[in-house]
Structure 1
Amino acid sequence: MGSGDSRDGTPRRTALDAARPVGPTRPTVLAAPGPVALTTRCVRVLLSPWSRLSLLVVLLAAAGTTVLLFEPHRLLADGWPPKVNGAAAVVVFAVAYGVCTIAFVPRPLLNLAAGALFGSELGLGAALVGTVIGAGAAFGLGRVLGQDALRPLLRARWLKAADGQLSRHGFRSMLAARLFPGIPFWAANYCAAVSRMGWTPFLLATALGSIPNTAAYVVAGARASTPTSPVFLIAMGFIAVTGLAGAVVAWCKRHRLRGR
């Protein structure tokens, strides 16, 4: 009797034999991922930080291309919006102003158009509302679509310093950026979105800091027909002074950030 047989002569079953299925065996077939699993994977890929950043780049590129095709500088020559008058025209212009700022249209051009179309008072109101709308929309797009992908890239010393300045002193930093036009409007929006600045200080600083320069451009646009008038000359002088001050502030901040 062999060592693997029991006393009655039948083969002895080991623990390994007991674990094997009885009967004919079939090859194991790996189940394909179901529709739920496949959908979950697709959603994860689409919502990943780099996918969202790619969507933001596509949106901004499309907006810039649209601006180049439609030539918004015609606002000053042709007038806009057509067939809309009164308060409705101001509201439509303010919304369009905000959309144009997202698409990289220079704000000075839009401010001049606001003054030329609606005068000093209504033009200033429309331009300020459009400024806040555009800044808020850009901030939201940058925060939702770009922050998670871009924050790990803030490794350079001056980038970390700028991020820390915006995160810790958001209101003060954004107020200075709006008062002294040394940083492009769109760049300030997206830099603030990548930082940890809150919504309230960003929008409040944008609204308050944009008043002086916006008013100067709107008044210049409203008085463009009389370029020798004192009001027009004062507005242009204010624009020149703030532009020079912005260049000086940007230069000083540049050296300070490099020194950190």
Structure 2
Amino acid sequence: MLDTAVPSPGRLAERCTRALLSPWSRLGLLLVLLAAAVATVLACRPERLLTDGWPHQLSGGVAVVLFAAAYGLCTAAFVPRPVLNIAAGALFGATAGTVSALVGTVLGSAVSFGLGRLLGQEALRPLLRGRWLEAADRQLSLHGFRTMMALRLFPGVPFAAANYCAAVSRMGWLPFLLATALGSVPNTMAYAIAGSHAARPTSPAFLAATAFLAVTALAAVVVAWCKRGRMGLPGKRG
């Protein structure tokens, strides 16, 4: 005979809790949160800071702190860091803009890494199939600090995507945040300097900053090409 007994309220609650806390449910929650964050950023249009400037009611240290907080949340929602770095320099100058952008960088990376580790890692790790994905996961898991340092030093690497990929790996919190803080300094400073001198694009400071970004971008392409074999990427065969 079929068991038609109705589960007790306690067992029913246990099943619901298990379903809600399952890896795929948490991954779904992560996707919902990211979609909501992206929609909020699009509605707020942070790019207006470059044209309209910072609200006049806020100034000084409070403005720098608020910008850093907004910066962190925007990067977690996939807003490109170069735009935010340039805005930081244009709004607060090279020094304060660099500090605010760096604080926002570490904050945004911590938020992204925490969300990815808590809500996405358990569901996504079993899906790491293929030579490239396995090699990237192994590199981040075994050599997390130096790998993340390289990713932060070179421009062009999607910031939020690198954060969430690191969260899925077995990389630790401390090397991730330390590499992010140290590796982000040169390019963040260059973008902030460029933003602070954007009104004078022929000035030596602006030209030096843009030249530095161009050289590091070229270096990133060269390093990626030379290291493709270690990551299992197809290359030219003789």
2:201 pairs with 1:205 = no
- Give the partner amino acid of 1:215: M
Task: Pick one of 148, 152, 176 that aligns with 2:150.
Answer: 176
TM-score calculated relative to the size of structure 1? 0.85
Question: What is the SS of the residue equivalent to 1:254?
Answer: coil
Choose the corresponding residue for 1:140, options 114, 128, 135: 114
Q: Are 2:184 and 1:249 equivalent residues in the alignment?
A: no
Give identity over the alignment, percent. Answer: 68
Unmatched 5+ stretches in structure 1: 1-28
| Residues 92-117 of structure 1: CA deviation (Å, up to 9, x unaligned) | 00000000001111100000110011
Q: Is the 8 A contact 1:170 1:201 kept in 2?
A: yes
Q: Is the 8 A contact 2:72 2:106 kept in 1?
A: yes
State which of 86, 101, 106 in structure 2 corresponds to 1:112.
Answer: 86
Partner Cα distance (2:10, 2:21) in 1:
16
Where does the alignment leave 5 or more consecutive residues of structure 2 unmatched?
none
Please say if residues 179 and 213 of structure 1, whose CA atoms lie closer than 8 Å, have aligned partners that are also in contact: yes
Residues of 1 paired with 2:10 and 2:69: CA distance?
Answer: 41
Q: 1:65 to 1:40 in 2, by over 3 A?
A: same
Rg bigger for which structure?
Answer: 1
Q: Any residues of structure 2 matched to 1:23-34 within 5 Å, and which?
A: 31-34=5-8
TM-score, normalising length: structure 2: 0.93
Aligned residues between the structures: 233
Amino acid at match of 1:252: C
Q: Given that residues 182 and 247 in structure 1 are in contact (C-alpha distance below 8 angstroms), is that contact kept between their aligned partners in structure 2?
A: no
2:155, 2:213 within 8 Å by CA — same for their partners in 1?
no
1:154 to 108, 128, 144: 128
State the superposition RMSD in angstroms. 1.7
1:53-132 equivalences in 2 (<5 Å): 53-132=27-106
CA distance in 1, matches of 2:115, 2:56: 30
